[in-house]
Amino acid sequence: MNTDWNKRYSVEEYIYGKQPNHFFRTVMDTLSPGKILLPAEGEGRNGVYAACRKWDVTAFDSSSVARQKALELAGENGIGINYHVCDYPDFNCHESVFDVIAFIYAHLPEEQKHACYKHLSPCLKIGGKVIFEAFSKNQQKYQLNNPQAGGPRDPGMLFSIEEVEEIFTGFHILKLEEKDICLSEGYGHIGTSSVIQCIAEKI
């Protein structure tokens, strides 16, 4: 996977822009700074936003090119982030380290995503929050009419409400909603899209 993403990220522009995801920013602005983990962080827009607001940021992605661009963005903003190049199963941390784990468009193959998401659950403190936004199964209809709507073409990598509920079994769900939104994130996410947004608390 990282070969494909390295090729995709090997452009001067930031594919999804330099500004944070709107839902991520909205939720983060309600929280006091602590330690945050950002899986599949890509070019660093969300991690940099968090670090600029005094969060201790740890991120990872399978793409070394994405990491380099993220560190450059962090440098532009005069902050630092701890960024690893690895896949989900290879990321290890002591239990109960993070106050927030944010999964923002962290799409994975169907046969991997449940195990990979659950692999990170022990890293979250009791009372810690999950922030989740990803494309829903209904994104396929928007992809047909708008190639820049974003999201994987493999329907197994998209999410349903029931699937998100299953992944976060044992968490207290504070928000879980499927909705249509208008995205304007670089040139990779543009136009009306169907997403699932979730906020969950570890209990």
Domain boundaries along the sequence of the chain: 2-202
Residue 198 has pLDDT above 90, yes or no: yes
Given this model, what pLDDT does residue 152 score? Answer: 95
- Is 139:191 a contact under the CB 8 Å cutoff? no
Given this model, what pLDDT does residue 166 score? Answer: 95
- Is 92:67 a contact under the CB 8 Å cutoff? no
Amino acid at 45: R
Q: Give per-residue pLDDT as tens, 7-27.
A: 999 999 999 999 999 999 999
Given this model, what pLDDT does residue 2 score? Answer: 66
Given this model, what pLDDT does residue 3 score? Answer: 74
Given this model, what pLDDT does residue 190 score? Answer: 96
Q: Give per-residue pLDDT as tens, 138-159.
A: 999 999 999 899 999 999 999 9
Given this model, what pLDDT does residue 9 score? Answer: 94
CA 66, chain centre distance (Å): 13
Structure tokens at 144: 């047909």
State which fold the 2-202 domain adopts: Rossmann fold (3.40.50)
Given this model, what pLDDT does residue 93 score? Answer: 86
Please enumerate in sequence order all residues whose Cβ is within 8 A of that of 193, keeping only pairs 6 or more positions apart, or say none. Answer: 135, 139, 142, 149, 150, 151, 180, 181, 182, 183
Q: Give per-residue pLDDT as tens, 50-103.
A: 999 999 999 999 999 999 999 999 999 999 999 999 999 999 888 899 999 999
Dihedral (C-alpha) 92, 93, 99, 105: value to the nearest 10 degrees?
-10
Q: Give per-residue pLDDT as tens, 106-135.
A: 999 999 999 999 999 999 999 999 999 999
- End-to-end Cα distance, the chain: 33
